[in-house]
Structure 1
Amino acid sequence: MIIALLNQKGGVGKTTLALHIAGELASRGNRVTLVDADPQGSSLDWSQQRAREGLPRLFGTIGLARDTLHREAPELARDADHIVIDGPPRVAGLMRSALLAADLVLIPVQPSPLDGWASAEMLALLTEARIYRPQLTARFALNRCGARTVIARETAETLADHDPPMLATAIGQRVVFADAAQAGRLVREIDRQSLAAREIAALTAEIVGLGIGRAVP
């Protein structure tokens, strides 16, 4: 399965989710490659920090911030069970290429009405991509969420009737994610029993449970 985390709005946690989904998939015995399609290279920075700390490699990480991604990703998929794409910012060519490469598009949003409105342009690109990839699946993923706040509940209710739908698992706003990023680690490596680690495990299980994938030629 090729999973692309995409949203033209910055600061929604695409990189954090991409790294943790890749790590959770790898922990289950899968061969995983993370593609850093963001010119800022935050996933590559995380991987390099991990190497400096002498930590074992959990999954492969490559930089591929170019609009030929949709032609190169299937080749990468020959040697991996899953590809996770840490998507680009507001670069239309890169975004379109990532959409065409993906089997599943995850659109991270924070619990704010503004995030929902900001996703309109992203959804227009998704509609365009489905002309060429009608089987392309997409889901919203509620991230950096204070589960008991009114705005989180309202955002979830707004997206519940939306197309694409929202994943049932929400990821909380937790300091441990920032601590892990600085150390080149994943939250499950800091505390496997933490709420953050359990939420990531549940989110990944939900993604796998969608049963999405393609036959690699």
Structure 2
Amino acid sequence: MIVALLNQKGGVGKTTLALNLAGVWASQGKRVTLIDADPQGSALDWSQQRSREGLARAFGVVGLARDTLHREAPELARDADMIVIDGPPRVASLMRSALLAADLVLIPVQPSPLDGWASAEMLALIGEARIYRPELVARFVLNRCGARTVLARETAATLADHDPPVLAATIGQRVAFAAAAQSGQLVSELNDGTPAAREIAALADAIKCLSIGRAAR
């Protein structure tokens, strides 16, 4: 299965979610490749930091920040159980290519009206991609949120009326994500009992419940 984390708005946590989801699937024995399709190259930077720290490779990370992604990602998928695409912000040609490559699109949003408004262009691109890929599945993911805050509840309620819907699993504002990234680690490697690690595991479970492609096997 090819999972793409995409949003036209930057700074919503796409790379953090992409890396940690890839880590969960790799820990389950799946063959995982993460495609860094963001010209900024944050996932590649993380992989290089991991190597400098002398840590074993958790999964493959390759840079493919080009609009031929929809042709190259399926080729990589032949030798992997899961492909995770860390998508670019604000680069429409790359975004379109990632959408055509994906089986599932996750749209990370933070509990803010600004994130909701910024998602309109993303939804238009998904609608465009579905002309060619009607089977494309998409879900919002609430990220960096306090589940008990009014704003988080209001954002979740607003997204509940949308197509695509929002996944029930949410990710909180956790310092563990930044702490892990600084040393090229995943939150599960710091301590798999932390709230951050549990939330990522729950997100992976929610994705599995969607029963898309090879993820359902």
TM-score of Structure 1 vs Structure 2, range by shorter chain: over 0.9
Q: For 1:28 and 1:145, how far apart are their aligned partners in 2? A: 27
Q: For 2:39 and 2:88, how far apart are their aligned partners in 1? A: 7
Q: 2:61 is paired with a residue of what secondary structure? A: strand
Runs of 4+ in 1 over 4 A off after TM superposition: none
Deviation of the 1:28 alpha carbon: 0.6
Q: For 2:213 and 2:107, how far apart are their aligned partners in 1? A: 18
Q: Which residue does 1:198 correspond to in 2?
A: 198
Q: 1:80 is paired with a residue of what secondary structure? A: coil
Q: Which residue does 1:8 correspond to in 2?
A: 8
Q: For 2:206 and 2:59, how far apart are their aligned partners in 1? A: 20
Q: What's the Cα RMSD here? A: 1.0
Q: For 2:71 and 2:3, how far apart are their aligned partners in 1? A: 15
Question: Which ranges of structure 1 fall in alignment gaps of 5 or more residues?
Answer: none
Q: Which residue does 2:161 correspond to in 1?
A: 161
Q: 2:105 is paired with a residue of what secondary structure? A: strand
Equivalent positions of 1:123-134 (< 5 A) are: 123-134=123-134
Instruction: Give aligned pairs, total.
Output: 215
Deviation of the 1:89 alpha carbon: 1.2
* Amino acid aligned to 2:59: F
Deviation of the 1:113 alpha carbon: 1.2
Q: Which residue does 1:182 correspond to in 2?
A: 182
Deviation of the 1:209 alpha carbon: 1.5
Question: Normalising by structure 2, what TM-score?
Answer: 0.98
Q: 1:119 is paired with a residue of what secondary structure? A: helix
Deviation of the 1:126 alpha carbon: 0.4
Deviation of the 1:4 alpha carbon: 0.2
Q: For 2:159 and 2:91, how far apart are their aligned partners in 1? A: 25
Deviation of the 1:69 alpha carbon: 0.2
* Amino acid aligned to 1:145: C
Q: Which residue does 1:109 correspond to in 2?
A: 109
Q: 2:151 is paired with a residue of what secondary structure? A: helix
Q: Which residue does 1:147 correspond to in 2?
A: 147
Q: 2:213 is paired with a residue of what secondary structure? A: coil
* Amino acid aligned to 1:94: L
Q: For 1:213 and 1:39, how far apart are their aligned partners in 2? A: 28
Deviation of the 1:82 alpha carbon: 0.4
Q: For 1:47 and 1:29, how far apart are their aligned partners in 2? A: 19
Deviation of the 1:18 alpha carbon: 0.2
Equivalent positions of 1:95-106 (< 5 A) are: 95-106=95-106
Deviation of the 1:146 alpha carbon: 1.0
Deviation of the 1:29 alpha carbon: 0.6
Q: For 1:134 and 1:157, how far apart are their aligned partners in 2? A: 26
* Amino acid aligned to 1:40: Q
* Amino acid aligned to 1:181: A
Question: Normalising by structure 1, what TM-score?
Answer: 0.98
Q: Which residue does 1:31 correspond to in 2?
A: 31
Q: For 1:139 and 1:147, how far apart are their aligned partners in 2? A: 18
* Amino acid aligned to 1:134: P
Question: Which ranges of structure 2 fall in alignment gaps of 5 or more residues?
Answer: none
Q: Which residue does 1:80 correspond to in 2?
A: 80
Percent of residue pairs identical: 80
Q: For 2:193 and 2:90, how far apart are their aligned partners in 1? A: 36
Q: For 1:154 and 1:213, how far apart are their aligned partners in 2? A: 32
Q: For 1:6 and 1:79, how far apart are their aligned partners in 2? A: 23
Deviation of the 1:208 alpha carbon: 1.4
